[in-house]
Amino acid sequence: MSILRKLASQTAIYGLSSVLGRMLNYLLVPLYTSVFIPAEYGIVTELYAYVAFLNILFIYGLETAYFRFSSQEKGYNYFNLAFTSILISSLLFSGLIWIFSDAIAQTLQYPDKAHFIQWLAAILAIDAMVAIPFARLRQNGKATRFAVFKLSNIGVNILLNLFFILLCPMILESNPNSFIRNVYNPGLGVGYVFLSNLIANGLYLLFFIPDWLKVQITFNPVEWKRMMKYAWPVLIIGFAGVTNEMLSRAILKYRLPEGFYEGYTNLEILGIFGACYKLAVFMTLAVQAFRYAFEPFFFAQAKEKNSPQVFSQVMTWFVLFTSFSWLVLCVFMPYYATIFLRQDSYLMALDAVPWLLGGGLFLGVFYNLSLWYKLTDKTLYGAYISLIGAFATFVLNWSLIPVFGYMGSAVATFGSYFLMVVISYLWGMKHYPVPYQVIKVISYVVLAGVGIAVDGLTEQSFLKSVLIVLIFLTLPIILERKAFQRLRAN
């Protein structure tokens, strides 16, 4: 149980940085939704959806491969090799995006926004260059340093957004001849979202100066091929995962019939759906914090005899926590949604959020289950599962969006992640059996789902929502009492 306490501690630190960081970053949503109209916010939503896909391409699975090889073999410096590979490829990829930025902007129907594409190319390059240094921090258990770096980046990004989007216009309005005219261009608009991100990312290059000074640019074709053999299925998994999460925001503008929502253009609906999708970030935070701690944990723990039992207990507690989070976030949504979404038009897509949060829960379960193909070096199976999920996401979005609008995208997200969980569990039990407490896990998810449905189908009441949450808590109190007692005793 002490091992689980260590995992919980690491998850708490990563969670603090992720949750606090995202929460701070999320405070920008009220700013964006009060200053930008849905059509303007739609630009941010769409471009960052493509960035999510490109982030996977720029790292191409080497982060996970680095964990695997450096944890098994100490005689070779896989850090230098992985960093060298990503450095060269990221400069190449970003260079190509920069060169063809005009054509890309034209294709995306933003003919005067090529500079946005160039800034995003630079952001992608920096994110890729610091991926392996951040992975080494996680592997060495330096969660605090990891958190400080991440939070510093987010803090600067927020301050820059506030400066450019809020403070500069206020200063110029009261004093048109202010020196602010030299650093602020009112016509740039939403471009300051991307520019602030780029400047903040530049801090990473300063944070890792001690690491840059120790890096040796090297390339060993034999070892690189070994890493890539392990990494390329992870790349496929990453692409499939981003497809599940981002495809709806990438194609909604194009797949939604014009006039489907009376009085709104497709770009405006994309902005509205993208803003409501932000409410699902709270589940993503829990999953991300767990993933940061769990990936290096299970590689190290796999050598122990009792590892299957430990993995089973981790799964049970993870599902308990995320099911509880799903329920709380959904039943109390009417009370906090208006804090973040400042214009009434943005609230019209709130009915999609419970489906998106549920999809995030299943994504977390899938990450938990993924240990079987990573520990057995069968990452190709993970690629198969992810491709099946991505195909399901594409088919469901393509068929449901014209009929149900953005709700079709939300249901597609939920359904594809659920399908991936089922397939991964069935295959995993054949290759790396773990005695998961299936009945318990299903009970938590179903109970949370029933509570959400009851709350949504009855009249809104704060006391009713509290009662639903308390009823849910009675089950884990009964079932997990002994496990909590053992954890506290250790």
Give the pLDDT confidence of 468-487 residue by residue, as tens digits. 999 998 887 777 766 655 55
Residue type for position 9:
S
For 101-114, the DSSP string reads: HHHHHHHTT-TT-H
Q: Check: CB of residue 218 under 8 Å from CB of residue 80.
A: yes
| pLDDT tens string 48-90 | 989 988 999 999 989 888 888 876 656 568 889 999 999 999 9
**What percent of the chain shows pLDDT beyond 70?**
89
pLDDT at res. 19: 59
Give the global pTM. 0.73
pLDDT at res. 9: 60
pLDDT at res. 159: 92
pLDDT at res. 453: 94
| The pLDDT of residue 17 is above 70 | no
In sequence order, the 6+-apart residues with CB closer than 8 A to the CB of 305 are none
| 328 membership: H or E segment, kind and range | helix 307-331
| pLDDT tens string 398-421 | 999 999 999 999 999 999 999 999
For residues 163 and 186, what is the distance between their CA atoms, to the nearest angstrom? 12
Length of the chain measured in residues: 490
pLDDT at res. 323: 93
In sequence order, the 6+-apart residues with CB closer than 8 A to the CB of 285 are 15, 18, 19, 22, 23
Residue 436 DSSP one-character state: -
For residues 270 and 276, what is the distance between their CA atoms, to the nearest angstrom? 10
Of the candidate ranges 205-209, 388-392, 477-481, the one whose mean pLDDT is the lowest? 477-481
Residue type for position 198:
L
Q: Check: CB of residue 427 under 8 Å from CB of residue 381.
A: yes
Buried b (16+ CB within 10 A) or exposed e, 220-231: eeebbebbeebb
| The pLDDT of residue 1 is above 50 | no
Structure tokens at 198: 């780029």
| The pLDDT of residue 325 is above 70 | yes
Q: What is the mean pLDDT of the chain?
A: 86
Q: Check: CB of residue 450 under 8 Å from CB of residue 323.
A: no
- End-to-end CA distance of the chain: give it in Å, rounded: 6
Of the candidate ranges 34-38, 135-139, 288-292, 309-313, the one whose mean pLDDT is the lowest? 288-292
Residue 210 DSSP one-character state: H
CB atoms within 10 A of CB 473: 13
The phi-psi region of residue 343 (left if phi > 0; otherwise alpha if psi is between -120 and 50; otherwise beta) is beta
